């Protein structure tokens, strides 16, 4: 089922700077992509670890903040973020999928993975997030 376009949010400034793009967002799940460019690279020309962490953090945050109502947005703060760097990309696009794994009224837990378009598993993450009051 295609994503309801009324719920697609434009990227926030940092996400736009990294060229993160929302692909899908539904209850408890989110999917983003980030085409890799030279400015994502570290001294060795590989994607900088901060790019991985930023994408994982973003996709997990969105996964936990779904409301299904564009008039009632929810945001969160990251309390804890764990990243496992597993492989270098073979392709040129990071594709991240995140899902909410649990939580309560004020906090939630999420996990995420990054693959590239070849299917290579690049990184995994887990996080703890606190809902922000007032959206």
Per-residue pLDDT reduced to its tens digit, 55-73: 999 999 999 999 999 899 9
- Segments making up each domain of the chain, as ranges: 14-131
Instruction: Tell me what pLDDT residue 3 has.
Output: 78
Is the whole-model pTM more than 0.85? Answer: yes
- The class of domain 14-131 in CATH terms is alpha beta
In which element (H, E) is residue 52 found?
helix 49-64
Q: Pick from 83, 82, 81, 85: which is nearest to 122 by CA?
A: 85
Distance between CA 99 and CA 30 in Å, rounded? 7
Instruction: Judge whether 121 and 130 are in contact, CB under 8 Å.
Output: no
Q: pLDDT digits over 74-133, tens only?
A: 999 999 999 999 999 999 999 999 999 999 999 999 999 999 999 999 999 999 999 998
């Amino acid at each position: 089922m295609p994503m309801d376009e009324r719920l697609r949010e434009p990227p926030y400034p940092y996400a736009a700077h990294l060229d993160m793009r929302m692909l899908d967002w539904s209850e408890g799940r989110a999917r983003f992509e980030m085409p890799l460019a030279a400015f994502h690279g570290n001294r060795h020309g590989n994607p900088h670890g901060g790019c991985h962490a930023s994408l994982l953090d973003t996709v997990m945050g969105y996964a936990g903040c779904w409301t299904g109502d564009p008039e009632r947005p929810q945001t969160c703060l990251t309390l804890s973020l764990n990243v496992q760097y597993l492989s270098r990309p073979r392709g040129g696009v990071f594709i991240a999928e995140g899902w909410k794994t649990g939580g309560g009224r004020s906090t939630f837990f999420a996990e995420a993975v990054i693959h590239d378009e070849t299917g290579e598993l690049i990184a995994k993450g887990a996080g703890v997030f606190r809902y922000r009051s007032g959206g």
